[in-house]
Each structure stands twice: as C-alpha cells, then as structure tokens.
Amino acid sequence: MASMDDVPNLRDLHVLVLDDHQDTLDVFSTALRACNANVFTARTARDAVTIFKTVRLDAIVSDLAMPGEDGLWVVDQLRRLSVTKGGSVPALAVTAHWDKYTSKDAKDAGFDGFLTKPVDPLELCTTVASLGDEGR
C-alpha cells in the first residue's frame, strides 16, 4: 500500500481526460482529483479539441481506441497547434488494446507516455506528474 509520501501532488495542474466510457472518466477523474489535479473530461475527440483550444492545460490523458475520431486523431490535432497555443502539452495515451497499440506507436503518434488498462490510480497520477517533470 502506498504511503501519502508516495502520492504525487498535482496541485495547480489542469488535466484533460478523454475516454468514451463514462466509468473510465469517473475512475481517472477521481484518481487525479485525489492527487489535487484540476480535471476536465471529454467523451469525444471533438469535445476534447474544443477544451484544449479554450483552456490552458498541463497534461492530456487520452484513450486511443474510440468510435469516430480516436486518441491518435486528438494528439495529431494537438501537435498541429503552436507551442503558444498549447501544442506542446504533454499527452498520455491509455488503451485496453495492448495487443493493437504499443508504446512506440503512441510515441510515434506524438504521445509522451503510454499506459495499458486497467490503470492503477497511483500509477496514473505518478505518470501524469512525470510528464510535467520531463517538460521542465
């Protein structure tokens, strides 16, 4: 069991979580909020794009496989933005399809990190924290 010292403090970080399943949004949001993150959620790729074009974000956590536009499309849209518009925001790919996607696929697409579901809540917070550390 993790001690409180092991839990990363994501205070003042604005994190967007994108997943087409509400239960995953709920679990990820709860975990990130427990680590003091400010969390925004989206169930569609287009909603996520609207959010990251209007809100200053520090990280994005995105499911890869979704109906319609998927997480790969989202990170492509993100990376097309200028740095001043948020195009360099760290992005974490998450998928249940470990047989279809690899961390190399995610990295090649523009993601900065990769996790497979089910995701441990502490690992999610720790990974999001490390994304920000890499950019500093």
Class of domain 10-131: alpha beta
Q: 74 burial class (0-12, 13-18, 19+ CB within 10 angstroms)?
A: buried
* Boundaries of every domain in the chain: 10-131
Predicted TM-score (pTM) of the model is 0.92
pLDDT in tens, 52-76: 999 999 999 999 999 999 999 999 9
Planar angle of CA 62, 111, 123, nearest 5 degrees: 60
Q: What is the mean pLDDT of residues 124-128?
A: 97
pLDDT in tens, 20-29: 999 999 999 9
Strands 59-63 and 91-95: parallel
Q: What is the mean pLDDT of residues 77-90?
A: 94
Distance CA 81, CA 61 (A): 17
Cβ neighbours of 114 (radius 10 Å)? 20
